[in-house]
Amino acid sequence: MDWLSLIALAVALAMDAFAVALAAGSILCPLTFRPCFRLSFHFGLFQGLMPVMGWLAGVTLQGFVSRWSHWIALLLLTGVGGRMIYEALHAEEEERRNTDPSKGLTMVALSVATSIDALAVGITLAMIDVVVWVPALVIGTIACIFTVVGLLLGSRVGRVWGKRVEVIGGAVLIFIGLKIVVSSL
């Protein structure tokens, strides 16, 4: 795989992480180092590990991944997005400030949801006989960088627009899940 194709693939895979980071950044006002590091590290780690897992699984999981990955991503993104919208509309100001998408199950769900398509890419790499180690490193690194940029932009927008951005961010997550399903059908 040539470098231009690899970077284009990595950028395409990182777009979901970027969009989710925008939404998360709007909640994390002010954005501090710890949540920024946690999200960017985990998004990059999951984006880098999923192609390796897909590559190792090879043809064995191809049918399952292609049949169910879009539904899994939809469920995860809809759950997190719906929770963001609900909390923006119903939670008290202090409660909303304590919401941190860079912790616990929320972070794991977002990491899996934004990287599940990378699992299918790993299976594809195995089928076209590409060794996965360099692509996985590039994919993970670009996802990490895009996450940091998304968090920084989201934080700036969140300070200006407040909880409206949380509602929009939740809707964006749900839209991304729906887009994944529609593009897979």
DSSP state string for 88-151: HHHS-HHHHHT--TTSHHHHHHHHHHHHHHHHHHHHHHHHTT--SHHHHHHHHHHHHHHHHHHH
10 Å CB burial of residue 59 (0-12, 13-18, 19+) is exposed
Percent pLDDT > 70 in the chain is: 78
pLDDT at 114: 81
| pTM of this prediction exceeds 0.75 | no
Q: Which of 61-70, 71-80, 84-93, 108-117 has the highest mean pLDDT?
A: 108-117
Find tokens 């990182």 and name the residue. 14
Q: What are the sequence ranges of the domains in the chain? A: 3-26+33-184
